[in-house]
């Protein structure tokens, strides 16, 4: 699976959009980009995933560059409950990789009042 690079930490003001970058320059054509987050003392929570096209759900938006070498997770209106470690993960959708998410260090996002 391709390696990802994320900033170690980010601050965001409550009510503002949080834009979380992720570099995955070695991504291959059939590797998906996933985002999970882990709030303190809880297990990780799935946010969103995508292959090529931008994706949006009730939690966030995922913007993938045309060359797929980087992506941005957007939390449109950050709240204090969005304070968490955010993980960007790239992996193949094959039988061998199911369940085998490789979590890196992630980005610690702190939302301030």
Residue 93 binds another protein, judged by CB under 8 A: yes
Instruction: In angstroms, give the least distance from the CB of 111 to another protein.
Output: 21
Cβ 20 vs Cβ 85: under 8 Å? no
CA distance 104 to 3: 9
Instruction: In angstroms, give the least distance from the CB of 74 to another protein.
Output: 19
Of 45 and 54, the one with the shorter C-beta distance to another protein is: 45
Q: Which of 1, 23, 74, 103 binds another protein (CB under 8 A)?
A: 103
Binding mask 43-82 for another protein (x = CB under 8 A): xxxx--x---------------------------------
């Amino acid at each position: 699976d391709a390696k990802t690079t994320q900033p170690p930490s980010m601050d965001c003001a409550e009510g503002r959009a949080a834009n979380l970058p992720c570099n995955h320059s070695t991504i291959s054509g059939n590797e998906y980009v996933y985002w999970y987050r882990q709030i303190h003392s809880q297990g990780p929570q799935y946010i969103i995933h995508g292959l090529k096209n931008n994706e949006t759900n009730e939690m966030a938006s995922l913007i993938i560059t045309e060359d797929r070498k980087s992506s941005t997770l957007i939390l449109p209106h950050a709240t204090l409950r969005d304070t968490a470690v955010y993980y960007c993960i790239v992996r193949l959708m094959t039988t061998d990789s199911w369940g085998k998410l490789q979590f890196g260090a992630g980005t610690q996002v702190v939302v301030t009042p």
